[in-house]
């Protein structure tokens, strides 16, 4: 090697262009192009596609909507749309179960059929059912319990539920009545054709017209099939809660939203609807429609004195002020029903002819029975405001 000729290793500038060319021509440009291509490719590939979890949620939601729409129906008495997927056959089974549970729950507190209060309540119930052709009360005499007690208030009227019980709105046309001796419970209820009246509600009712208002409301629940509607609606609540949890909401918040947005509003709607139907039923039975308003005024006073007030959107029932206003709006219709009823015309004529305030019930019965008007006797006794002396 000549001393003046340097080796390529001794001349680094001869290698730099090649290294630089390799870096610029291969690594950097290709890496940049690959990154851009990968990004664009992914966005196109996933555009318009759902992950499996989203697909399942969407499928369940869509199926639930279709099922819900397919089972919508109108309440005959009011025209309200509601979801109902309980068949009459299954409802009859629910009626049997409900009756057996009522007998078991109130065992030892049910008044016998021959007790004065039971007979009194039974008379008002029969009048309401007969006037609207809703069926009849079960007429079997109660069987005494083997407890050995002679206390009329402690007899157990039935030892088991009847196997063929069915709700009247599906063709059974037979109702059950249980009067429960519990003065602390200010309530009455009716479900699947089973009517339960607690003695604690009688002072609030005050007279037969007030009792008819309460019973008309409860029977209205059965006529409108509110119990099977609630049973059906529970499925809607479950689906709603599932969808809310699927989007990540906490189970506590989900349950709260379901209750506030769906369950409680639907319950209040049913109560107002039962008020409407009950007012019509009692008017057909020739009872004073104003009594319903007076009953709710007394309930409002009792609530203020003992229970306090609660915001309406947190309650299952509308506030008393709202219910009273609603009932006042129904009064003209109720008077129209009474005016067009031949049944009520007989009661009204007799009510004007006899000085009720100065005549005893016994005297009126004697007068009517003497003239052979037994049916008018029964109706006029209901039309008269008999005060409750036993409570």
Q: How many CB atoms lie within 10 A of CB 318?
A: 18
For residue 75, what are its two tokens? 């309440």
| Cα dist from 42 to 46, 53, 70, 152, 285, whole Å | 6, 20, 41, 83, 75
Q: What is the mean pLDDT of residues 342-352?
A: 68
Query: Which has the higher per-residue pLDDT, 76 or 171?
Result: 76
Question: Which residue is listed with tokens 């004007």?
Answer: 352
Residue 117 near residue 152, CB atoms below 8 Å: no
CA–CA distance, 120 with 140 (Å, rounded to integer)? 17
Q: Count of alpha carbons within 13 Å of 252, Cβ hemisphere only?
A: 0
174 backbone dihedrals φ, ψ, rounded to 5° = -135, 125
CA–CA distance, 180 with 154 (Å, rounded to integer)? 10
Q: What is the pLDDT of residues 178-235, one digit of tens each?
A: 999 999 999 999 988 899 999 999 999 999 999 999 999 999 999 999 999 999 988 8
- For this structure, is 218 an active site residue? yes
Query: Which has the higher per-residue pLDDT, 45 or 125?
Result: 125
CA–CA distance, 224 with 132 (Å, rounded to integer)? 14
Identify the active-site residue in 91, 169, 208, 218.
218
CA–CA distance, 41 with 280 (Å, rounded to integer)? 70
Query: Which has the higher per-residue pLDDT, 3 or 272?
Result: 272
Q: Mapping DSSP to helix (H, G, I), strand (E, B) and coil, where does residue 287 land?
A: coil
Looking at residue 342, its pLDDT comes to 86
Query: Which has the higher per-residue pLDDT, 20 or 118?
Result: 118
Residue 92 near residue 172, CB atoms below 8 Å: yes
Q: Mapping DSSP to helix (H, G, I), strand (E, B) and coil, where does residue 15 land?
A: coil
Strand partners, 368: none
Looking at residue 221, its pLDDT comes to 95
Q: SS3 letters for 215-252? A: HHHHHHHHHCCHHHHHHHHHHHHHHHHHHHHHCCCCHH
Q: What integer best gives the mean pLDDT of the chain?
A: 76
Question: Which residue is listed with tokens 């939601």?
Answer: 61
CA–CA distance, 237 with 344 (Å, rounded to integer)? 44
Q: What is the pTM of this model?
A: 0.71
Question: Which residue is listed with tokens 């109560």?
Answer: 271
Q: Per mean pLDDT, which of 2-16, 167-181, 228-242 is the most reliable?
A: 228-242
Q: What is the mean pLDDT of residues 45-64?
A: 76
Whether residue 313 has pLDDT greater than 70: yes
Looking at residue 358, its pLDDT comes to 40
Looking at residue 20, its pLDDT comes to 46
Q: What is the pLDDT of residues 76-107, one digit of tens each?
A: 889 999 999 998 788 878 888 999 999 999 99
Give 162's pLDDT tier (boundaries 50, 70, 90): very low
Give 145's pLDDT tier (boundaries 50, 70, 90): very low
Looking at residue 353, its pLDDT comes to 52
Interstrand relation of 188-191 and 194-198 (parallel, antiparallel or unpaired): antiparallel
Q: What is the mean pLDDT of residues 50-73?
A: 85
Question: Which residue is listed with tokens 């309401």?
Answer: 128
Single out the residue of 307, 289, 287 nearest to residue 299, CA to CA: 307
Residue 356 near residue 384, CB atoms below 8 Å: yes
Query: Which has the higher per-residue pLDDT, 250 or 169?
Result: 250
CA–CA distance, 253 with 257 (Å, rounded to integer)? 6
DSSP string, 103-140: HHHTTTTBPPTTSHHHHHHHHHHHHHHHHTT--EE--P
Q: Mapping DSSP to helix (H, G, I), strand (E, B) and coil, where does residue 180 land?
A: strand
Q: Which of 28-32, 133-137, 220-224, 315-319 has the lowest mean pLDDT?
A: 28-32
Whether residue 366 has pLDDT greater than 70: no
CA–CA distance, 300 with 20 (Å, rounded to integer)? 93
Whether residue 300 has pLDDT greater than 60: yes
Tell me the residue ranges of DSSP E strands in the chain: 72-74, 81-83, 136-137, 174-180, 188-191, 194-198
Residue 194 near residue 95, CB atoms below 8 Å: yes
Query: Which has the higher per-residue pLDDT, 60 or 329?
Result: 329
Residue 255 near residue 244, CB atoms below 8 Å: no
Whether residue 108 has pLDDT greater than 50: yes
Q: How many CB atoms lie within 10 A of CB 48?
A: 6
Give 367's pLDDT tier (boundaries 50, 70, 90): very low
């Amino acid at each position: 090697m000549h001393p003046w000729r340097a080796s390529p290793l001794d001349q680094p500038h001869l290698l730099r262009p090649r290294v630089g060319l390799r870096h610029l021509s291969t690594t950097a440009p290709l890496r940049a192009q690959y990154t851009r291509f990968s990004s664009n490719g992914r966005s196109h590939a996933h555009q318009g596609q759902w992950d499996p979890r989203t697909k399942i949620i969407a499928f369940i939601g869509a199926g639930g909507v279709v099922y819900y729409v397919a089972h919508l129906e109108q309440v005959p008495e009011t025209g309200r749309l509601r979801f109902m997927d309980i068949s009459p056959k299954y409802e009859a089974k629910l009626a049997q179960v409900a009756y057996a549970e009522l007998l078991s729950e109130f065992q030892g507190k049910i008044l016998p059929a021959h007790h004065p209060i039971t007979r009194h309540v039974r008379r008002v119930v029969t009048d309401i059912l007969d006037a609207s052709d809703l069926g009849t009360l079960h007429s079997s005499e109660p069987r005494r319990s083997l407890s050995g007690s002679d206390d009329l208030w402690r007899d157990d009227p039935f030892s088991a539920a009847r196997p063929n019980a069915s709700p009247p709105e599906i063709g059974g046309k037979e109702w059950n009545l249980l009067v429960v001796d519990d003065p602390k419970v200010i309530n009455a209820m009716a479900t699947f054709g089973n009517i339960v009246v607690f003695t604690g509600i009688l002072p609030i009712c005050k007279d037969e017209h007030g009792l008819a208002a309460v019973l008309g409301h409860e029977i209205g629940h059965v006529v409108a099939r509110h119990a099977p509607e609630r049973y059906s609606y529970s499925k809607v609540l479950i689906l709603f809660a599932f969808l809310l949890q699927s989007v990540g909401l906490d189970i506590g918040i989900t349950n709260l939203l379901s209750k506030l947005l769906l369950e409680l509003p639907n319950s209040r709607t049913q109560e107002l609807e039962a008020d409407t139907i009950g007012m019509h039923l009692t008017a057909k039975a020739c009872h004073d429609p104003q009594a319903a308003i007076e009953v709710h005024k007394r309930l409002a006073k009792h609530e203020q004195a003992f229970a306090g007030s609660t915001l309406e959107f947190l309650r299952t029932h509308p506030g008393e002020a709202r219910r009273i206003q609603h009932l006042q709006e129904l009064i003209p219709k109720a008077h129209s029903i009474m005016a067009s009823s031949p049944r009520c015309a007989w009661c009204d004529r007799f009510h004007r002819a006899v000085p009720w305030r100065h005549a005893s019930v016994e005297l009126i019965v004697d007068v009517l029975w003497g003239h052979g008007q037994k049916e008018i006797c029964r109706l006029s006794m209901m039309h008269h405001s008999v005060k409750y002396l036993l409570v």
